């Protein structure tokens, strides 16, 4: 079976409600004829419901939250639970983004709890990982990525792997304008698939989409997506421009 192709937009902490509605409407209109690729928008929490309403009826599109609480519910002021996200009509949650690991000290134990909450609420997961520049310079990028995968996926239920999407995002490429070369991306994605094979078995590994993220844009997406193990992209900055984001969706050959 061919693997799913996915292009996801991570809007991060950007936009006001009106801007979010306008951007979502433009993306919806401009992507209407782009087939063969799943599209996901990850708006900030307050816009999830509205963006979800705008895309309703589009089988190829869904929304996702950029994070969820590791707890189910209760006295956790300021937190947003996976069940709440699901109740807004979202299909996905983004977990393990390097900005959350870096600025909010998210660790593997929390990520495992967030995965559990997401799966219990029937949300699909886009799980992010990637090395820092120092690690690549010291030739530790494969070891780092393997560690980030194994510490979380060892506990991942094998019967829920169709709810799992991975996103390799080298930290040095996020928001910097520096992109992994197509060869670097493919090399790491092939390695990730081999790690998946060790942890989950070769058959499951062959079906899990692995997205690339980190300064992926309308100019470089085609080359990046040409890699045999690159199944799409997780797009930050370029997802805030409808035309660029939709060009990226059309970048599969
Ligand atoms: P970028 O962000 O495309 O702006 O580099 C990607 C991400 O952080 O998901």
Rounded distance from Cα 160 to ligand 1 centre (Å): 27
pLDDT tens for residues 142-162?
999 999 999 999 989 999 999
CA of 220 to the centre of ligand 1 (A): 13
Q: What is the pLDDT of residue 40?
A: 98
State the average pLDDT over residues 127-144: 97
Q: How confident is the model at residue 1 (pLDDT cuts 50, 70, 90)?
A: confident
Integer-rounded Cα radius of gyration of the chain: 17
Instruction: Give 253's pLDDT tier (boundaries 50, 70, 90).
Output: confident
> Has residue 177 got a pLDDT over 90?
no
The 3 state secondary structure assigned to the chain is CCCCCEEEEECCCCCCHHHHHHHHHHHHHHCCCCCCCEEEEECCHHHHHHHHHHHCCCCCEEEEECCCCCCCCCCCCCCCCHHHHHHCCCCEEEECCHHHHHHCCCCHHHHHHHHHHHHHCCCEEEEEECCCHHHHHCCCHHHHHHHHHHHHHCCCCHHHHHHEEEEECCHHHCCCCCCCCHHHHHHHHHHHHHHHHHHHCHHHHCCCCEEEECCCCCCCHHHHHCCCCCCEEEECHHHHCHHHHHHHHCCCC
What pTM was estimated for this model as a whole?
0.97
Region of residue 156 (left: phi > 0; alpha: psi -120 to 50; beta: else): beta
- Index of the ligand 1 atom closest to the CA of residue 238: 3
* pLDDT recorded at residue 235: 98
Burial 121-147 (b: 16+ CB within 10 A, else e): bebbbbbbbbbbeebbeeeebbebbbe
Q: Provide, rounded to the nearest whole percent, the portion of the chain with pLDDT above 70.
A: 100
- Residue 28 alpha carbon to ligand 1 centre in Å: 21
189-228 per-residue burial string, b: 16 or more CB within 10 A, e: under 16: bebbbebbeebbeeebbeebbbbbbbbbbbebbebbbebe
Q: Residue 79's pLDDT band (boundaries 50, 70, 90)?
A: very high
Query: If you search the block for the tokens 């309703």, which residue do you land on?
Result: 56
Indicate if ligand 1 lies below 6 Å from the C-beta of 244.
no
Q: Report residue 109 as tokens.
A: 């134990």
CA distance linking residue 251 with residue 221, whole number of Å: 6
Q: pLDDT above 90 covers what percent of the chain?
A: 97
Q: Grade residue 202 by pLDDT with cuts at 50, 70 and 90.
A: very high
Which sequence positions are flagged as catalytic? 97, 169
Kindly state if the Cβ of 231 falls inside 6 Å of ligand 1: no
Ligand 1 atom index nearest CA of 213: 6
Choose one of 13, 175, 179, 240 to mutate for the ligand 1 pocket test, by most ligand atoms within 8 angstroms of C-beta. 175
Q: What is the pLDDT of residues 205-218, one digit of tens each?
A: 999 999 999 999 99
């Amino acid at each position: 079976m061919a693997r799913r192709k996915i292009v996801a937009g991570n809007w991060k902490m950007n936009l006001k409600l009106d801007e979010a509605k306008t951007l979502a409407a433009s993306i919806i209109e401009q992507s209407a004829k782009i087939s063969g690729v799943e599209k996901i928008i990850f708006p900030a929490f307050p816009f999830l419901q509205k963006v979800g309403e705008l895309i309703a009826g589009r089988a190829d599109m869904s929304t996702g939250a950029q994070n969820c609480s590791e707890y189910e519910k209760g006295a956790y002021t300021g937190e947003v639970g996976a069940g709440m996200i699901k109740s807004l009509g979202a299909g996905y949650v983004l977990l393990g983004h390097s900005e959350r690991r870096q600025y909010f000290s998210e660790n593997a134990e929390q990520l495992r709890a967030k995965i559990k909450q997401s799966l219990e609420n029937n949300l699909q997961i886009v799980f992010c990982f990637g090395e820092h520049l120092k690690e690549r310079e010291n030739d530790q990028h494969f070891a780092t990525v393997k560690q980030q995968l194994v510490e979380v996926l060892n506990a991942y239920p094998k019967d829920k792997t169709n709810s799992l999407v991975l996103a390799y995002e080298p930290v040095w490429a996020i928001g910097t304008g520096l992109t992994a070369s197509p060869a670097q991306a493919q090399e790491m994605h092939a390695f990730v698939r081999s790690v998946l094979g060790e942890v989950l078995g070769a058959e499951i590994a062959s079906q899990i989409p692995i997205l690339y993220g980190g300064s992926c844009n309308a100019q470089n997406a085609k080359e990046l997506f040409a890699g045999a193990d690159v199944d799409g992209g997780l797009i930050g900055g370029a997802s805030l421009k409808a035309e660029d984001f939709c060009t990226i969706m059309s970048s599969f050959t």
